[in-house]
Structure 1
Amino acid sequence: MHYPLIFFAFIVFALCIPIMVPTLQFLLFLSGTLLFMQTLAEAATCSDCFIHSRAAYYPNSYENGTDTGRCGYGSFGATLNGGDVSAVSDLYRDGVGCGACYQVRCTDSHYCTDKGVTIVVTDHGSSHNTDFILSRRAFGRMAQTTDAAASLIALGVVDVEYKRVSCSYPNKNITIKIDENSDHPSYMGFVVWYQQGRRDITAVHLCETQNFACKVLDRSYGAVWTTTSPPSGPLSLRMLFSEEDGDETWVVPVNNIPNDWKAGQTYDTGVQVNS
């Protein structure tokens, strides 16, 4: 076979395309451009894509979560979101992931629904290479029927897919609960409840309302923020909310923390986030 001749003929044909069929060349260019733009659009919405993983459930008889989760929610965390809660492994992110919501659905169409269940992260842990250890209630709610739920429970560990979604707490503002170990006025710790949306709290400042002097709080663990020698007088918060794309927004609560704050008390901030 005469390869040089074939190669020469191909070059001549390629060079003649702009002269012979300019419309065809333009259509091919336009088609490629549209395909490239579609690929970029799909990449931009990757945060809405499901990720494959595995899930187990808490090996106890309780329907809800645990009272001792690593996010610091205590007994509140066991019943948050109606008890549809979960421990996570890598998604814990050194506590930043506490309070995040995920849609989790098992992949066996014989047992599972397309909707799955929406859970709130309240703990840290893994089992059998899983990303999620769901409450027993949440694990069963991935199933189509009561019988299917029993079958899932019997399996113990199932393949799932998940994505992050917005948390929703109708008629609730962001609330803080002063940690039981707090000691007025020398030590303060608190945990954040009812954070809507899908952003992370990555920094918290505690400020005096009179002179606006602020102190940066430490993330002690999970969703617990602490400081020694907190500012005196009525106090206000500054919370930094960060998005997955890097955008950051400071949120300032409407309500202040009273001067005589007490361990174990809850305080409504008067604000909520919705994105």
Structure 2
Amino acid sequence: MANPLGALMTSSLLFLVVFALPNHVHAEINTSWKHAAPNNVGGADKTVPIHQHTPFTPGQWKQAYATFYEGGSGTFGGACGYEDVVKDGYGLDTAALSTALFNQGQTCGACYEIKCVDSPKGCKPGQPSLFVTATDHCPPNYNLPSDNGGWCNPPREHFDLAKPAYLKMAEYTAGIVPVQYRRVPCKKQGGIRFTITGNPYFYLIKVWNVGGAGDVVGVQVKGEDKLQWTDLKRNWGQKWETNAMLLGETLTFRVKTSDGRSSTSLRVVPNKWQLGQTFEGKNLA
């Protein structure tokens, strides 16, 4: 992270994502795991109804501060596992969250509305709200006080914005500005994406482009042959791991977000899938 006040640089790993989207996607949206698709997903009828649900709604306004850090599409998603935020559909309106907001990676993918306030010299006049996605972590710097350089030290709630996003609402020379913020629904094009990497003995699945609450708190997978419903473990950010045997199975994924809603995408991965491919399921609104 680089700015006039010495914010911290974050980094990212870069992977090649190969897209292979199936022609037909069948899914359902539910409010809890127990109401999701039945275990027997191998029947002839693949049509699953969309259940009624309450959309994610904006939260209460809170106070925080915002700085910015340098980088690009390949470095603005490091701690969340988004290799390229532009290719993954997040654009450059992204933010690295302080530890208090990051919640050990669980908040990755959440969306925020941010307004620059109470800084006549720092806030750009007449600027509308900025809408950003949480894609990275702003680590603490305990060598500096939290009110003078250690902006992301606990328990501060702080947004270290990607520079292109910051400059939409605040002046470069300000370095740090007070803001109001609130959680808002994530509006996405298309469905939830599942990118599967790893090897035949260990699988790493990136879950991305999630609508609604945006932040994933649980992922399950089931095969059509031998694999029963299996909980995936968070590896880091929105990368989820399992050593269950997935290759050769037609896969169904179930994703749960922080508001308790879930989306079950039936047979979105055909049995002849390969590592490195990406598949599309049903999204949450």
TM-score > 0.5, shorter chain as reference: yes
Alpha-carbon distance in 2 for matches of 1:81, 1:68? 9
Q: Which amino acid aligns with 2:167?
A: G
Q: Are 1:85 and 2:97 counterparts?
A: no
CA gap of 1:79–1:158, structure 2 versus 1, over 3 A, is farther
> How large is the Cα RMSD of the aligned pairs?
2.5
Q: Please identify which structure carries the higher helix content.
A: 1
Residue 153 (structure 1) shift:
1.0
The correspondence for 1:135, drawn from 152, 159, 162, is 162
TM-score (normalised: structure 2): 0.66
Residue 214 (structure 1) shift:
1.6
Q: Which amino acid aligns with 2:133?
A: V
What residue is the counterpart of 1:166 in the other structure? 185
The aligned runs of 1:81-120 (5 Å cut-off) are 81-89=90-98, 90-107=100-117, 108-109=119-120, 111-112=123-124, 113=126, 115-120=128-133
**The structure with more radius of gyration:** 1
CA contact 1:77–1:122 (8 Å) conserved in 2? no
Alpha-carbon distance in 2 for matches of 1:69, 1:78? 14
CA contact 2:77–2:83 (8 Å) conserved in 1? yes
Residue 226 (structure 1) shift:
0.5
What residue is the counterpart of 2:254 in the other structure? 238
The correspondence for 1:178, drawn from 196, 210, 221, is 196
What residue is the counterpart of 2:263 in the other structure? 251
Alpha-carbon distance in 2 for matches of 1:258, 1:79? 22
Residue 241 (structure 1) shift:
2.6
Residue 242 (structure 1) shift:
3.1
Alpha-carbon distance in 1 for matches of 2:150, 2:89? 25
Alpha-carbon distance in 1 for matches of 2:76, 2:94? 11
Alpha-carbon distance in 2 for matches of 1:135, 1:64? 9
The correspondence for 1:56, drawn from 67, 81, 88, is 67
- The one of the two structures with greater contact order (alpha-carbon pairs below 8 A, sep at least 6) is 2
SS at match of 1:81: coil
- State the identity as a percent: 27
The aligned runs of 1:1-275 (5 Å cut-off) are 48-58=59-69, 60=70, 62=71, 64=73, 66=75, 69-76=78-85, 80-89=89-98, 90-107=100-117, 108-109=119-120, 111-112=123-124, 113=126, 115-126=128-139, 128-130=150-152, 131-143=158-170, 152-170=171-189, 172-179=190-197, 182-183=198-199, 185-198=200-213, 200-210=215-225, 213-232=228-247, 233-243=249-259, 248-269=260-281, 271-274=282-285
CA gap of 1:86–1:77, structure 2 versus 1, over 3 A, is farther
Q: Structure 2 stretches of 5 or more lacking a match?
A: 1-56, 140-148, 153-157
CA contact 2:95–2:135 (8 Å) conserved in 1? yes
Alpha-carbon distance in 2 for matches of 1:153, 1:66? 20
Q: Per-residue displacement from partner, 1:159-183 (whole Å, max 9, x unpaired)? A: 111100111113x11111123xx11
Q: Structure 1 stretches of 5 or more lacking a match?
A: 1-45, 144-151
CA gap of 1:115–1:273, structure 2 versus 1, over 3 A, is same
Q: Which amino acid aligns with 2:235?
A: S
Alpha-carbon distance in 2 for matches of 1:234, 1:118? 37
Q: Please identify which structure carries the higher strand content.
A: 2
SS at match of 2:80: coil
SS at match of 2:91: helix
Residue 254 (structure 1) shift:
3.6
Q: Which amino acid aligns with 2:67?
A: A
CA contact 2:113–2:184 (8 Å) conserved in 1? yes
CA contact 1:65–1:86 (8 Å) conserved in 2? no
CA gap of 1:217–1:211, structure 2 versus 1, over 3 A, is same
Residue 199 (structure 1) shift:
5.3
